[in-house]
């Protein structure tokens, strides 16, 4: 269902974010999707019993299999991604691991050199146990991607903007390679969100989000979503039921609520991040800065072509300081407004040091940009006072 809009009227992204997958409750008329906090559902008839066992998605029997609130979220995500269907899971890692297990099938996969840390551990340590082999490549080196393809290669997996170094992948170019060789292109787009870039529109087969981040946007729920062709999402759904990574009804409701304001929040995240990046780019204490919205960033031309000129460059900034890890630790401990905390995509700004590196990842929130910059400035003053600096 797509909410209360005139049939046949074109819907923009903001309209879909608010209305897609939602409608007034048919029983009470309540405006918005209820939280169906039930484990089991009365099937009432034998026909419904048969339909439940056949996997009919219009029949609810057990919330691990399908829950009405979760299904509304899936319909909303499918609409805003331009997908045939979506599957919602209990976390971003549940979405990543279930998708790779369902799609990889014990064969060979090509995986980007840099991906989210826990996903990296899963790829390196867990997938081989399930009979999968991997070749790790720089996704900007198309010749290396082609050279990595083997007779049993099934998929290419990368992030649009990598965690934490903000390396930008050319998704249309990778899609061309994948299609030429009959491979699946699976994209994690957590760092941007569908308000900034929609990989399915550029040739990807599946797109994954940690809904914990920008989709929810308020740091109060864990969740993950995978979207794409139904023939693929059905396999992921089946695998998820067996692995048990079920998203709760309350979690789905919170994520849906967050998505309603996604376009507004993402615009502010991007505006603020660009302001912060411009400030840091000229600071003498910063030895390296990564933000694709800066003209001299190595990913700028690709980012500008794919999303930045129209939708902004996202809310993530990555930097190194003169003085290395010790300077980074000093800065993190002196932040006042910006929380020294993991995760990203929250309305509040967050700073997270990448363990055993000298990289500091900033998730820029929607506060007044002057206040974010002032906090960074006073923390950098403390770093210099501690003896670190250019």
pLDDT (tens digit per residue) in 311-343: 999 999 999 999 999 999 999 999 999 999 999
Alpha-carbon distance of 67 to 88, in angstroms, equals 10
Tell me the mean pLDDT in the region 11-29.
91
Alpha-carbon distance of 239 to 309, in angstroms, equals 38
Question: Where does 13-259 sit in CATH, by number?
Answer: 3.40.640.10
Tell me the per-residue pLDDT of 198-226, one tens digit each, with 9 for 90 and over: 999 999 999 999 999 999 999 999 999 99
Alpha-carbon distance of 157 to 112, in angstroms, equals 6
Query: What angle, rounded to 10 degrees, do the helices at 92-104 and 230-243 form?
Result: 110
Q: Does domain 263-385 correspond to CATH entry 3.90.1150.10?
A: yes
Alpha-carbon distance of 160 to 143, in angstroms, equals 19
Residues 363, 343 contacting (CB under 8 angstroms): yes
Residue 149 pLDDT: 98
Where do the structural domains in the chain lie, given as residue ranges?
A: 13-259, 263-385
Tell me the mean pLDDT in the region 96-105.
95
Evaluate whether 13-259 and 263-385 have a shared fold. no
Tell me the mean pLDDT in the region 222-233.
98
pTM: 0.95
Tell me the mean pLDDT in the region 39-65.
94
pLDDT band at 25 (very low <50, low <70, confident <90, very high): confident
DSSP H or E stretch at residue 168: none
Q: Give SS3 for 147.
A: helix
| DSSP secondary structure, 14-57, as one string | HHHHHHTT----TTT--SS------SB----SHHHHHHHHTT-T
Alpha-carbon distance of 319 to 340, in angstroms, equals 15
**Which residue, 387, 62, 92, 336, is CA-closest to 214?**
92
Alpha-carbon distance of 87 to 240, in angstroms, equals 9
Residues 154, 184 contacting (CB under 8 angstroms): yes
Pairing of strands 184-188, 133-137: unpaired
**211 exposed, middle or buried (CB, 10 Å; 0-12, 13-18, 19+)?**
buried
The tokens of 60 are what? 């609810």
Alpha-carbon distance of 367 to 76, in angstroms, equals 27
Tell me the mean pLDDT in the region 289-318.
97
Compute the residue count for the chain.
Answer: 390
Has residue 6 got a pLDDT over 90?
A: no
Alpha-carbon distance of 155 to 178, in angstroms, equals 8
Query: What angle, rounded to 10 degrees, do the helices at 262-281 and 369-385 form?
Result: 40
């Amino acid at each position: 269902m797509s909410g209360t809009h005139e049939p046949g009227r074109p819907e923009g992204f903001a309209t879909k974010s608010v209305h897609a997958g939602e409608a007034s409750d048919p029983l009470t008329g309540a405006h918005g999707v209820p939280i169906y906090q039930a484990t089991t559902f009365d099937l009432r008839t034998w026909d419904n019993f048969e339909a439940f066992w056949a996997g009919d998605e219009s029949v609810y029997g057990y919330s691990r299999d399908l829950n009405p609130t979760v299904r509304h979220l899936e319909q909303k995500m499918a609409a805003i991604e331009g997908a045939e269907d979506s599957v919602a899971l209990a976390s971003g890692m549940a979405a990543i691991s279930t998708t790779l297990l369902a799609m990889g099938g014990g064969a060979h996969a090509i995986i980007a050199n840099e991906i989210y840390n826990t996903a990296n551990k899963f790829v390196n340590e867990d997938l081989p146990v399930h009979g999968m082999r991997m070749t790790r490549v720089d996704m900007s080196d198309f010749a290396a991607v082609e050279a990595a393809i083997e007779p049993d290669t099934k998929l290419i997996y990368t992030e649009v903007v990598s965690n934490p170094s903000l390396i930008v992948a050319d998704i249309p170019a990778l899609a061309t390679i994948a299609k030429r060789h009959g491979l699946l292109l699976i994209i994690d787009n957590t760092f941007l969100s569908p308000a900034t870039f929609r990989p399915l529109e550029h040739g990807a087969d599946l797109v994954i989000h940690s809904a914990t981040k920008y989709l929810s946007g308020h740091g109060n729920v864990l969740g993950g979503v995978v979207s794409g062709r139904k023939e693929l999402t059905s396999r992921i759904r089946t695998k998820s039921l067996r692995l048990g990574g079920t998203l709760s009804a309350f979690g789905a409701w919170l994520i849906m609520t967050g998505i309603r304001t996604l376009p507004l929040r993402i615009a502010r995240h991007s505006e603020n991040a660009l302001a912060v990046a411009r400030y840091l780019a000229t600071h003498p204490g910063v030895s390296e800065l990564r933000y694709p919205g800066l003209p001299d960033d190595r990913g700028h031309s690709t980012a500008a072509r794919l999303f930045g000129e129209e939708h902004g460059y996202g809310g993530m900034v990555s930097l190194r300081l003169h003085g290395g890890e010790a300077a980074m630790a000093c800065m993190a401990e002196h932040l006042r407004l910006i929380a020294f905390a993991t995760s990203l995509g929250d309305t509040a700004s967050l700073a997270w040091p990448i363990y055993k590196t000298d990289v500091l990842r900033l998730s820029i929130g929607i506060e007044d940009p002057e206040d974010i910059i002032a906090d960074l400035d006073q923390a950098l003053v403390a770093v210099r006072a501690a003896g670190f600096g250019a």
